[in-house]
Amino acid sequence: MARMFSLARLFGKEDRFFALLEASAEEARHSVQAMVKLSKAAGEPGSLEEFAASRRADKKITQEISEALTTTFVTSLEREDIEALSNALYKIPKTVEKFGERLNIAPDQVRGMDFSRQTALIELAVETLVTMVRGLRRPDLNQVKSLNNRLQQLEGDADKAVLDLLRDVYQGKHPPHKTVLLKDLYELLERIIDRCRDAGNVVTHIVLKNS
């Protein structure tokens, strides 16, 4: 039992790092929620402020974690784990913002496009990730493995969904300029769920090492 709770020593006696990592995961979820809302109205004018706000907030959290690590005693390996998770989480809203920017770049080309299958899987993935990050406070190896397996499954399902969309693109069903834009959007959707999977892998690594 003592080793199971050794993760608490990774962050010292304070809850600061737990809270910061959880806040970062929440920003990732918020950015995904904004993406879902924007994608449902594809082709209509939409604000990117929510995306930018989440990315800025998460960048601030990431910087705070980095600064706190310089004044908090942890081993070098443990510090790398914290930094790895912090950086992995930050990449989610950063990539989501790129999707929002591309979606708004040529509204006439994406009007009426349905991204719901992919965004639904991303929503499930980020919800799973948030649960995993929260679980770092009281790590349960079996639960983390189960959640990580779910993330891997969601990522696999998302890959299949993107391939279905790309099939239409490669079969020449759209004009060349629209083909380029759609391919970019589909690949960004794939990258977002990959980011969630990557962060989940870091959480799993941390728990495995400290259980």
Q: Where are the domains of the chain?
A: 9-209
CA angle 28–32–35, rounded 5-degree value: 140
**Would you say 193 and 125 are in contact if contact means Cβ atoms under 8 Å apart?**
yes
Cβ-in-10-Å burial (0-12, 13-18, 19+) of 187 comes to middle
Fold classification of 9-209 is Methane Monooxygenase Hydroxylase; Chain G, domain 1 (1.20.58)
Instruction: Collect all residues with Cβ–Cβ distance below 8 Å to 159 and sequence separation of at least 6.
Output: 190
φ, ψ at 35 (rounded to 5°): -65, -40
Q: Give yes or no for residue 205 having a pLDDT over 50.
A: yes
pTM reported for the whole predicted model:
0.85
Residues 76-96 pLDDT 10s: 447 889 999 999 999 999 999
- Cα–Cα dist 203/123, whole Å: 18
Name the range with the highest mean pLDDT among 108-122, 172-186, 187-201: 187-201
Give the per-residue pLDDT at 75. 53
Q: Give yes or no for residue 71 having a pLDDT over 90.
A: no
φ, ψ at 145 (rounded to 5°): -60, -40
- At residue 178, the 3 state secondary structure works out as helix
